[in-house]
Amino acid sequence: MLAHTKRCALVETARSLNRTGLNQGTSGNVSLRVGDGFFITPSALAYDRYRPADIVELDMAGRVVGGTRKPSSEWRLHRDIYAHRHQAGAVLHVHPPWCTTLACLERSIPPYHYMVAIGGGDSIACAPYALFGSAELSTNVLAALGNDRCACLLAHHGMVCFSSDLKSVVALALEVENLARVYVQALQAGEVPLLTQSEMDQVRQQFVAYRNVAQGK
């Protein structure tokens, strides 16, 4: 019953992506950590056709252990984030227009606004291009995320982020997309003044304090 509930939550999250503007068509994918593996959306199926039974379960070796459909071609990216970041409970990869605009320009999101720190660092990096679904792409993304970041852009591709659960990972993706939109708009007037390393460090400390309060620490 619990597994069915999680499959349903993943279906509803996937269906919400086009409504929120984070995705278009059948591109993008979302997953949820479950036990020693994870649930992930299937390949080449329109979101509005998703049913709980269409969600694919993989183990950490990338083997299908539940479901009859083929998993998203980006399953390796999700698996590697789970393997390297223990705090990742949900992973979201999408092609939102403003993030993708910067990604196609091979530009990161610098510290032009304090909310950039929501990605875990003083910028939201852009990982070098690699073929979708490849081990090289996963390697590039892990390097861009480093030890602290929870979101990055993918050159000539889109963006990926992770959080503790489905609701918060969608909220994070929406915030990163908004940051990308405002940054692209600001660039129309010229180069954008940036916050200093010290100023961003202060913001990150405040974010940690807010999270601790929210978690009752």
For 179-199, what is the mean pLDDT?
96
**pLDDT tens per residue, range 25-80:** 888 999 999 999 999 999 988 888 889 999 999 999 999 999 889 999 999 999 99
Q: What is the extent of the structural domain holding 160?
A: 2-214
For 124-128, what is the mean pLDDT?
98
| Rounded CA separation 46/49 (Å) | 5
Top pLDDT among 118 and 212 is at: 118
DSSP characters over 33-98? EETTEEEEPBSS--GGG--GGG-EEEETTS-EEE-SSPBPTTHHHHHHHHHH-TT-SEEEEE--HH
For 197-210, what is the mean pLDDT?
88
**pLDDT tens per residue, range 91-108:** 999 999 999 999 999 999
The catalytic residue positions are 74
91 φψ region: left (φ > 0), alpha (ψ -120 to 50), beta (else)? beta
DSSP state of 1: -
Give residue for tokens 């892990």.
142
Is a pLDDT exceeding 80 seen at residue 213? no
| Rounded CA separation 22/83 (Å) | 25
> What integer pLDDT is reported at residue 193 of this predicted model?
97
Q: Is-above-0.75 flag for pTM?
A: yes
Is a pLDDT exceeding 60 seen at residue 214? no
| Rounded CA separation 3/13 (Å) | 15
Domain count, the chain: 1
State the Cα torsion 180-185-190-193 to the nearest 10°: -50
> What integer pLDDT is reported at residue 217 of this predicted model?
58
Residue 116: give its domain's CATH number: 3.40.225.10
- The encoded tokens of residue 215 equal 């978690």
